[in-house]
A = this chain, B = another copy of it.
């Protein structure tokens, strides 16, 4: 204990009624022998600072109980106000875009099926490079072109066939093409590393053979050791470049719950049936829960919130924002669990994929940087392996690598929002740009005030940041589509 703390403790004790009143044993005995059955004795109240009482664990239960009561009441109020709005048929219409009464070409479905083409094309180019049909440099250029056109394809198609897309359909297409972009990037780069590694090894072997032509026994022993180390690489069961370049391997990677390509993924030995059934049920019920929350709670709240935003009435805006924040946040939490736990684990179990590190304990994150590094592990691991590390290995600074990762992330956040809405605003991009200063603030708070408050900042930015961005988009969208210009 430091001197300061000791002094504080001594002062606290001096302030207490208990310690101020120093009773001798004799006085105590005299008091207790009185005939009036005395029961009072000097004591501080528990809330008094000098009582040194700190057990308030019951208040945690109190908090969660109030939260539950508030939730049940909101639910009842919602049903009383809006009736039951959950309608699964409406969703079928929304997803397929069937209701528009126009020629039914289902461009989303066609685009999803077409996504196989750039993937197979990437495999063919890799095979051509591996067999020296084209040069490595030429091949990599073709691959980069292929990858960039993959991610651009939805934007182009949308420009021509925009009317026939449903919102959910185009969002799915954008998400799938973005995942494809990241996976192909990893596929091409990893194969490139393998080629470079093999070239380096061949060069080393050549050097070794040259040195063997002038016999020197010491070097010969060293060389044999190196040779034996190389032999471990040839351990049976591990696939080696270029034997990985086949359709089966490619499609396993495309379906596997990871964005980083590897020649030998860790595998499980069996499919746990109970685990599989649980995840499957979670996916089925989870999707319906999210859709119900959307129809019943989110859409009425957003609709009610547009007026205050166009009138720029600050108090009403804040009230609407806070009202929107709760269902939005709950939907986000459900979606997080659904995507990152239920769905990715389901895919992993089906594919015998053993690395289930899809998320880390971001709910304990003590600053915003930690949150971004823990909530979406597939993207985080991809960014570190394929952007951050290559840049730092080229000799650039870590700061530059971070900035590049950050801008790529910001760009794709905007891509996932602007393309489906067909509105090129910068709200999502701005939302991402706010993250670095917020990150610094939360780090300062964590160090100066305490990690609890850092965690509270992380949660606040999550709960309040998203609905703000959604309101901005919905406001602009409503202005564009529903009001006469």
Contact = CB atoms under 8 A, between A and B. Distances in A.
A326 to B, nearest CB: 7
A223 interface: no
A342 to B, nearest CB: 9
Contacts of A267: 21
Interface stretch (A30-38, A143-151, A157-165, A421-429): A30-38
Contacts of A76: 315, 318-319, 322
Contacts of A238: 30-31, 34
Given A53-B361, A76-B322, A36 B194 contact: yes
A26 interface: yes
Given A17-B354, A46-B360, A260 B33 contact: no
Size bracket of the A interface? 35 or more
B322 A35 contact: no
A272 to B, nearest CB: 6
A418 interface: no
Copy total for this chain: 2
Contacts of A27: 235
A41 interface: yes
Given A76-B318, A80-B315, A364 B265 contact: no
Contacts of A55: 361, 364
Given A326-B66, A385-B37, A42 B241 contact: no
Interface in A363-377: 363-365
Given A67-B66, A323-B73, A61 B459 contact: yes
A34 B263 contact: yes
A66 to B, nearest CB: 6
**Closest CB pairs A-B (n = 10):** A35-B197, A73-B322, A42-B354, A58-B363, A40-B355, A58-B364, A76-B319, A30-B235, A45-B356, A35-B194
